[in-house]
Amino acid sequence: MQGPPQATSEVVGHEILRRGEERFPAALNDLSTPPHQLFALGDISLLAKPAVAIVGTRDSTHYGERTCRNLARDLARAGVCVVSGMARGIDGTAHRTALEFGGATVAVLGTGVDVPYPAGHRRLHSEIAARGLVLSENPPGQTAQRGSFPKRNRLIAALASITVVVEAGHKSGALNTATHALDLGRVVAAVPGQIDSDQSAGANQLIRDGAVVITSSADLLALLGLAEAPPERTLPTLPENEQRVWQAIGFNFTDSDAIGLKTGLAAPECLAAITSLELMGIVECSLAGEVRRR
């Protein structure tokens, strides 16, 4: 375990979601020991979106990273929230890809909500807090403790209707998340890997024991009852403000005020960037002033 990480100075303020309140995610009530409260940084409305957990080993291979990226990209483009634990490897790739493609992502931490773990993910933590949601049942300031992460894994499994294991060794924490998902009656799926790869041993074991096999994004979207995501498009090189706005929106309509909050742009700059993207033909605006990707 790494040395105690320090609370980030880039993200301030948090909200408390108490069990029994309307904002508390109802899916967590399925747990035998639901948290009494959650601490949250970011967009709490993401908890109402359909969600898939993508989890896996910290020691991911190029194959695992590529596969994770493809799955998270197409989930983001289909409007599905990507849930994971912000660890190195598969978790981090899932979060970054969802953000890159303007999608929703929720990171569930085993530390306090304001304590990035691992410390090397300080910037990722800030990006998720700004454009997604960071959750923890631990009080702010709490560092990693023994047992924190297995306890955290039950929340990941409960928040998602499907848990996908991309790569996992025999003792990977991703298998612990999958076990929680099975106990909750959720769907567990896994990506097959080489039979002589340590990183795929656990995922292959899940498939042997009955997990749904995921061989493409289409397989995963079909489990959700969704059509295949639209083909990826090649974008022109965008100016900085337009790039920030593009990354802040997805394929569902987003309020321009929310885009401004996510990008940190002043209202005139944000509106100018939206207009520029609309003239390029890559976003569309509703009569209510909301924006989405074409």
pLDDT in tens, the chain (294 residues): 444 444 443 445 789 999 999 999 999 999 999 999 999 999 999 999 999 999 999 999 999 999 999 999 999 989 999 999 999 999 999 999 999 888 999 999 999 999 999 999 999 999 999 999 999 999 999 998 888 899 999 999 999 999 999 999 988 889 999 999 999 999 999 999 999 999 999 999 999 999 999 999 999 999 999 876 556 666 778 889 988 888 888 766 788 888 888 888 998 898 898 888 888 878 888 877 788 877
Q: For residues 264 and 206, state if they share a domain.
A: no
Q: For residues 165 and 271, state if they share a domain.
A: no
Give the pLDDT of residue 1: 41
Q: How far is CA 158 from the centre of its chain?
A: 14
DSSP β-bridge partners for residue 212: 189
Report the domain count for the chain.
Answer: 2
- With respect to residue 4, please indicate whether it lies within any of the assigned structural domains: no
Q: For residues 206 and 287, state if they share a domain.
A: no
Measured CA to CA, the distance from residue 15 to residue 36 in angstroms comes to: 14
Measured CA to CA, the distance from residue 239 to residue 263 in angstroms comes to: 14
Q: For residues 177 and 135, state if they share a domain.
A: yes
Q: For residues 246 and 214, state if they share a domain.
A: no
Q: Residue 271 sits in which domain range?
A: 240-293
Q: For residues 165 and 274, state if they share a domain.
A: no
Q: For residues 288 and 180, state if they share a domain.
A: no
Q: For residues 252 and 203, state if they share a domain.
A: no
The pLDDT > 70 percentage for the chain reads 93
* CATH code, 72: 3.40.50.450
In this predicted model, what pLDDT tens digit does every residue of 11-40 receive, in sequence order? 457 899 999 999 999 999 999 999 999 999
In this predicted model, what pLDDT tens digit does every residue of 247-270 receive, in sequence order? 888 766 788 888 888 888 998 898
Q: Which amino acid is at 228?
A: E
- With respect to residue 134, please indicate whether it lies within any of the assigned structural domains: yes
| Cα distances (angstroms) measured from residue 7 to each of 23, 112, 156, 283 | 25, 8, 22, 37
Q: For residues 244 and 200, state if they share a domain.
A: no
The pLDDT > 90 percentage for the chain reads 66
* CATH code, 271: 1.10.10.10
Q: Which amino acid is at 215?
A: T
Give the pLDDT of residue 234: 67
Give the pTM: 0.77
